[in-house]
Structure 1
């Protein structure tokens, strides 16, 4: 390789710079420029240290160049240097065997290649000439172009940007724009369970659509399923695991860097120490045992877990556990399990719509955060009954009083069913919330 003189000089300069010399150039301990006293006791004997500029000298150098508003530095000119022109008549420059055309450290050609030629490659292996595995004409180096079709190209950055731009023009995209203008942190809230069950083609299309929507920088994350294990979408643990794995893998590829979340409920947690209650809840909800909900957190499939509080209010009366105690039990259990180490934990509050009393609003929203079990609280802004009746959030005055935790409050909002109109609704939400989950199909 053509490195003898250049690399030898570079190596010598490097050693001199760090003050480490080879044994033949070692300085004695009496040398005034020795800095061997700075080396550790376990330093090998052949490693020595010498000052290029001792501290007092370095200070003098700095003062010299900085004096008079850097006058000396401004007047300085580049050194002519001492360089050898190997092309000049009479110049003698060392060269590596083979004429110096192979393996130049600044050459794009690998060793074994001749300038302008194609290197020999191992059998069946593509070779790289320009670092990308292709020759200048776009063909693989060392191969011949054939009449077979080229493989289907993967989506380019330009295509991704075009898809994101198109998604921004949809109603959901416009809602994201409005939320950004209102300085709300945005999550895309969707349901992929039905798409996954419908087959690979439907699922891929849904992931592509959501990925394009979430590609915008103002989108923090994607919540891709709700009531996981509680609704009737899945019947077995294996189905849930397969779905969460597929959705997580697909979304991390379609929307890299975005956080992923799921929404569910763990009925057993609110039982506290009541074993009869816990046994009954496991029997009623076999897919919602704490260890099963914890599994995707441990596997790193999701970054946020939202726990619904709906069952807490009246669901434990049979064991004489009132709503307040059930609420307290759940968050004690969450904190004890350290789920916040595995993922961000959020409380999902669905029952505030129509509530106007200070006590209910303050306690429901502040307790999970105050106790340190949840990092945020998601509040539904509307609920639709089976008959189609929509009940909306009305506790605005009480919500606005929770300014200290406003950034931890997130509104779950469906832009397809506005109360007034989307822009007006989102502006109103920004007065009480710091985040928004935009429900999309």
Structure 2
């Protein structure tokens, strides 16, 4: 990740005409010759001190039985005596005005609030770490839940596992700590790579202001970093403005229609390190841009050009997300149609180095109760699945979403089938 950031910065400097200094082979502090022959050219070695300088430094501190070292003392600190004549100090400072050392009793009236800052009424802006971390008993109990057992079965199937949950409602209800602790217990199960904590972020009706979204992402990300250290954090959203390309009328309308999906705000989640993976949904590509005669292929191309231009992949992993292969009952695509769709929605983002992974939905239920699938009932294969099965070379980059609460056959059988095609799975836990 650091190297990718360096490349981006270097390219920007070049465009601005700013030269990046290279270490000269004649530099006495260069130690590049110690590197192996196959070391990339951009890796350099530079001594902090030459051999002669290091010798002089050692002799200075070691001379006369370390006399110089013994005579060193901490830098003098400036201390103002408020009681001395001519000195004036503010009268509203905290404390009793006396010096205290470690182990001394606390001043009269001192109350330990845990260091928690004041919050707005009705909000929970800070939570002590112990309230977020799951205990060994919590983790053991989570393993016995249906979600924990599904995580285990997914890992056994060879799938890289992500927890797919949505903490927006918990955050708004002031129950973030409780929800994060439960997710942390599940994330501690073997094989879990990361947590997706928001879906359709800024697109659904959960938030009404951009400031709310910023606060939710900042607080939830910080809490999850404590509750599930080492796990990747992901979010799913849309950036409708990207599909417009250079069409100004389209950009004006998308900005007006989706004010909470500002690319700069979403990009800040990545540059601040709050999100490690960002999934961009393709759900609007086929219909949202028809007014400006922009079809799905052009809208997708516009989107990924913008993603590359903003160098989002220098800060986080970018994923494409699509449900285009599903249909009521099962996919009805012929082999030729399926191949064309996979080329457009899977191969193109990957080949253009726009998305590192592609998440394809294989089963979901609409509000009317209709089940949309790729496979047929009871995992019956079809032409679409056969074409998916041919993408073995990019299997590690393909992911799907699975809800163990609504199995097609049973969780173990379903996950084994998904593992034939996909390398990763987002397992719904709430």
Taking structure 1 as the reference length, the TM-score comes to 0.66
**SS of aligned partner of 1:288:** coil
Cα distance in 1 for partners of 2:409, 2:349 equals 31
Cα distance in 2 for partners of 1:237, 1:169 equals 39
- Is 1:179 aligned with 2:168? no
1:221 Cα deviation after fit: 0.5
What is the aligned partner in structure 1 of residue 215 from structure 2? Answer: 242
Cα distance in 2 for partners of 1:294, 1:310 equals 20
Taking structure 2 as the reference length, the TM-score comes to 0.67
Q: How does 1:369-384 map to 2 (within 5 A)?
A: 369-384=350-365
What is the aligned partner in structure 1 of residue 46 from structure 2? Answer: none
Q: Is the 8 A contact 2:320 2:359 kept in 1?
A: yes
The 3 A distance-change label for structure 1 pair 325 and 160 is same
Matching residue within 388, 391, 413 for 1:424: 413
- Deviation track 1:60-115 (CA, whole Å, cap 9, x = no partner) reads xxxxxxxxxxxxxxxxxxxxxxxxxxxxxxxxxxxxxxxxxxxxxxxxxxxxxxxx
What is the aligned partner in structure 1 of residue 189 from structure 2? Answer: 216
Q: Is the 8 A contact 2:234 2:277 kept in 1?
A: yes
Q: Is the 8 A contact 1:184 1:434 kept in 2?
A: yes
- Deviation track 1:180-210 (CA, whole Å, cap 9, x = no partner) reads 11111000000100111111xx222111111
Matching residue within 405, 411, 422 for 2:394: 405
The 3 A distance-change label for structure 1 pair 277 and 165 is same
What is the aligned partner in structure 1 of residue 239 from structure 2? Answer: 266
- Is 1:284 aligned with 2:284? no
- Deviation track 1:361-412 (CA, whole Å, cap 9, x = no partner) reads 2321111111101110111121222211111123211111111110000111
- Deviation track 1:94-139 (CA, whole Å, cap 9, x = no partner) reads xxxxxxxxxxxxxxxxxxxxxxxxxxxx975445xxxxxxxxxxxx
1:280 Cα deviation after fit: 0.7
Cα distance in 2 for partners of 1:228, 1:405 equals 28
Cα distance in 2 for partners of 1:158, 1:301 equals 19
What is the aligned partner in structure 1 of residue 422 from structure 2? Answer: 433
- Higher Rg: 1
1:438 Cα deviation after fit: 0.3
Q: Is the 8 A contact 1:376 1:408 kept in 2?
A: yes
Cα distance in 2 for partners of 1:192, 1:385 equals 21
1:329 Cα deviation after fit: 1.1
The 3 A distance-change label for structure 1 pair 151 and 165 is farther
Q: Is the 8 A contact 2:132 2:177 kept in 1?
A: no
- Is 1:359 aligned with 2:340? yes
Q: How does 1:88-167 map to 2 (within 5 A)?
A: 124-127=100-103, 160-167=135-142
Matched residues, number: 311
1:45 Cα deviation after fit: 6.2
Cα distance in 2 for partners of 1:235, 1:291 equals 18
1:157 Cα deviation after fit: 13
The 3 A distance-change label for structure 1 pair 43 and 405 is closer
Q: More relative contact order in 1 or in 2 (CA 8 Å, sep 6+)? A: 2
Q: How does 1:294-333 map to 2 (within 5 A)?
A: 294-333=267-306
1:350 Cα deviation after fit: 2.0
Q: Is the 8 A contact 1:362 1:398 kept in 2?
A: no
- Deviation track 1:226-268 (CA, whole Å, cap 9, x = no partner) reads 0001000001011001111111111111111111111000001
